[in-house]
Chains A and B, each alone.
Chain A
Amino acid sequence: DIQMTQSPSSLPASLGDRVTMTCRASQDIGNYLRWFQQKPGKSPRLMIYGATNLAAGVPSRFSGSRSGSDYSLTISSLESEDMSDYYCLQSKESPFTFGSGTKLEIK
């Protein structure tokens, strides 16, 4: 199975900060990369698909990018509602695989 290495596991940040988290794929996945947000007690929410495309209803402060086998999720100006867990997922090859998650928390 394709392995997704996600970092950092914890990301302390302040409101208004620009933050970035990254996933690295163990083999080529093209742009078959999704990002999810998960708040405590809630189901995951799709934020980014195709590595760079914003899902419906997602604020424009979120963006996705790719550099080689590294995929990043960036929040341009952190708001309190963004404090959540974030997961990447590769959907290039079945079975799809998740990264281990990044916990975004207030510094």
Chain B
Amino acid sequence: QVQLKESGPVLVQASETLSLTCTVSGFSLTNYGVIWVRQPPGKGLELMGIIWRNGNTEYNSALKSRLSINRDTSKSQVFLKMNSLQTDDTAIYYCTDVQLVYWGQGVMVTVSS
């Protein structure tokens, strides 16, 4: 069955770079894209970016200058990197398939000043 799981540090210092991994199973990254979504505590959902099945990426305009998404298809992993973190980047970070049917459980990342 299809599963996605996020992993990475739960605490990051301000001004540093966040690196998260989404490991997928049940489908191939060459057949389906993956989306990253985040949610600050008590707030709404924000789509961060998409990596399509052909490897092309698209990013939220507000995050584009700090964000990169890439993948290792052989390991079924998608990587998110975001630099120059600030405290308002504290959020739950989710990965989901490009149809937004299957979601990971999310990883809570706290940015400490």
Report A's interface with B, CB cutoff 8 A.
Answer: 1, 34, 36, 38, 43-46, 49, 55, 87, 89, 91, 94-101
A-B contact pairs, 12 of them (CB 8 A): A43-B103, A43-B106, A44-B45, A44-B94, A44-B100, A46-B101, A94-B50, A95-B50, A96-B35, A96-B47, A96-B50, A99-B44
Q: Are A89 and B47 in contact (CB under 8 A)?
A: yes
User: Is the CB of B59 closer than 8 A to any CB of chain A?
Assistant: yes
Partner of A95 from the list B59, B94, B96, B105 (CB cut-off 8 Å) is B59
User: Is the CB of B25 closer than 8 A to any CB of chain A?
Assistant: no
For chain B, give the interface size range: 20 to 34
Residues of A within 8 A of B105 (CB): 43
Q: Chain B 93-113 against A: per-residue CB contact (8 Å), 1 yes, 0 no?
A: 010100111011110000000
Given contacts A1-B60, A43-B94, contact A97 B100 (CB under 8 A): no
User: Is the CB of B46 closer than 8 A to any CB of chain A?
Assistant: yes
Q: Are B100 and A89 in contact (CB under 8 A)?
A: yes
User: Is the CB of B61 closer than 8 A to any CB of chain A?
Assistant: yes
Could you list 19 further interchain pairs (A-B, Cβ under 8 angstroms) beyond the known A43-B103, A44-B94?
A1-B60, A1-B61, A34-B100, A43-B94, A43-B96, A44-B100, A46-B99, A87-B45, A89-B47, A89-B100, A94-B58, A95-B47, A95-B50, A95-B58, A96-B35, A96-B47, A97-B47, A98-B46, A98-B47
